[in-house]
Amino acid sequence: MEALLELERVQRVLSLMSSLGLCDAGSGGGGAAADRFLAQFLLFMVRFPVQPFDSLSMEKKFLLVSELLGKATPDTLEEVRHLSRLEADQDISSGALLQPNKKFKMQDDKSTIQAAPMCRSYFMFHGLDVNNPQFVFKYLPILSFTESYIYQLDASNEDSLDLVSDDSSSSKALERKKEAFDETSLSQMIEPLNGLFRSQGLMTDRLRTELESGIQYWSLERKLCQALSRNEKISIDDVMKAIHLKSFDYRVLNLLMYQLTGQQVNELHMDFLSISEFLVEISDDLYDYEDDVMNNTFNILRMYAAIYGPSEAPNMLAKCIGEAEEKYESFSKKLDPSLSGSYWRRCEEATKEGGKISGHAYGTWNIRPVISDEESFRRERSSKHDASVAII
């Protein structure tokens, strides 16, 4: 939860910077990344009461830094980095030194990547030009913060799905982690995000419903994946409900955009994007299939294999994809032709950027060979990984 609190602190500082006109506006650009660095630097400045510097006042710290930056150059930073033997991913210019820890940095980067394509794909449905920096930097902070917060909760939920190893100490640690996660309900964990939306005047009944959909998805993911790890039966109703709920974060971001731009929700657009999101989730699951097996996380192919068996699962999933594609085509024809064309081109770009070969109409569906014995697959893959590490 500390990572979530850190995101909230940074967002508050970003809002303060915006109100004071302190956001990056230099010729060098940098946009949201530059603003994030400046916000973290300000937090770093006020978080330094430790010995032997606790005798320095804020005024003294400010003067010292001002004098230093007036004399230092980018070359100075490069020399300091060299002397400190910092690794590439700990570059001063990236702000990595101001991150609370490496794990948080990786998670936050991923969530920011998730929010950025959302802008590129969804801005057009709000009449906004994604190539206009004014629009991107105006809305990206709240969108990135929201997606980051949701991603942290999603990662915490997936941590609770880890398979217990044979090692007794690891097993006990995992059980403690599960117990700690269970003590705080999912509703309580998402409440700070609800509070932020309320304080910003962004909350609506529909937005609240989508956030509750996220809680339902995480609960279903735990139920289904834990059942699979115990070789228990699961229902197709639960699986289909979960895959539809899984993309709730995109709907949350989209509904936020309607609030931020002061527009009424366009139901046709929401229906069209809902089908598109469903197909994207399946495409992602096919791409991540083996990793999801290893991590015991939700994956529609895993679920279909458990319900229909290894031989029939691909056929049943192909049928499901075909039905969804028909709905996609139907809704696509109802859109404005220029909007439909723009979205199609964006999907093609996203497919190339992601390096995927599966995806509706912008790639070829590739249903991976089903892993009939997940436990054996995990052991074999873990052994190969251990062997490669030993060689290195």
DSSP readout, 180-201?
Answer: HHHHS-HHHHHHHHHHHHHHTT
In terms of domains, do 242 and 284 share one? no
Residue that is last in its domain, among 233, 265, 297: 265
Q: Band of the pLDDT at 384, cuts 50, 70, 90? A: confident
For the segment 55-63, the average pLDDT, to the nearest whole number, is 71
The number of folded domains in the chain is 2
In terms of domains, do 293 and 226 share one? no
Distance CA 269, CA 265 (A): 8
In terms of domains, do 176 and 40 share one? yes
Distance CA 161, CA 24 (A): 41
In terms of domains, do 126 and 229 share one? yes
Are the CB atoms for 321 and 360 separated by under 8 Å? yes
In terms of domains, do 288 and 389 share one? yes
Per the domain annotation, does 169 fall within a domain? yes
Q: Is the pLDDT reported for residue 155 higher than 50?
A: yes
In terms of domains, do 236 and 280 share one? no
pLDDT tens figures, 174-232: 555 554 455 457 788 888 899 999 999 999 999 999 999 999 999 999 999 999 999 99
Q: Please give the model's pTM, rounded to 2 decimal places.
A: 0.68
Q: How many residues appear in the chain? A: 392
In terms of domains, do 255 and 115 share one? yes
In terms of domains, do 311 and 246 share one? no
Per the domain annotation, does 112 fall within a domain? yes
Residue that is last in its domain, among 227, 246, 265: 265
Are the CB atoms for 234 and 307 separated by under 8 Å? yes
Q: Is the pLDDT reported for residue 88 higher than 60?
A: no
| Three-state DSSP state, 146 | helix
Tokens of 321: 């994809």
Distance CA 246, CA 249 (A): 8
In terms of domains, do 176 and 314 share one? no
Are the CB atoms for 2 and 108 separated by under 8 Å? no
Mean pLDDT comparison of 4-8, 13-17, 54-58, 152-156, highest-scoring range: 152-156
Per the domain annotation, does 59 fall within a domain? no
pLDDT tens figures, 313-337: 999 999 999 999 999 999 999 999 9
Per the domain annotation, does 72 fall within a domain? no
In terms of domains, do 182 and 284 share one? no
In terms of domains, do 219 and 324 share one? no
Per the domain annotation, does 110 fall within a domain? yes
For the segment 140-156, the average pLDDT, to the nearest whole number, is 87
pLDDT tens figures, 16-25: 777 777 776 5
Query: Could you give the angle at the alpha carbon of 359 between the alpha carbons of 147 and 285, nearest 5°?
Result: 55
Q: How far is CA 102 from CA 99, 106, 120, in A?
A: 7, 6, 28
* Summary mean pLDDT of the chain: 78
> By mean pLDDT, which of 19-23, 97-101, 339-343, 372-376 is the weakest?
97-101
In terms of domains, do 301 and 256 share one? no
Measure CA of the first residue to CA of the last residue in the chain; give whole Å: 35
Query: Could you give the angle at the alpha carbon of 172 between the alpha carbons of 168 and 175, nearest 5°?
Result: 140
pLDDT at 150: 92
| Letter string b/e over residues 296-307, b meaning 16 or more CB atoms within 10 A of that residue's CB | bbbbbbbbbbbb
Per the domain annotation, does 358 fall within a domain? no
Residue that is last in its domain, among 265, 288, 309: 265
pLDDT at 94: 37
Backbone angles phi, psi at 111, to 5 degrees: -70, -35
Phi-psi region of 296 (alpha: psi -120 to 50; beta: other; left: phi over 0): left
pLDDT at 102: 33
pLDDT tens figures, 349-366: 776 665 555 444 445 788
Per DSSP, helices labelled H in 51-130 are: 58-71, 74-84, 102-122
Are the CB atoms for 230 and 187 separated by under 8 Å? no
- The amino acid that residue 89 corresponds to is D
pLDDT at 263: 95
Provide the total of helices (H) and of strands (E) in the chain, helices listed first.
Answer: 17, 0
Residue closest to 164 by CA, chosen among 156, 176, 174: 174
Per the domain annotation, does 74 fall within a domain? no
Which residue segment(s) compose the domain that 150 sits in?
Answer: 1-19+31-46+99-265
Per the domain annotation, does 55 fall within a domain? no
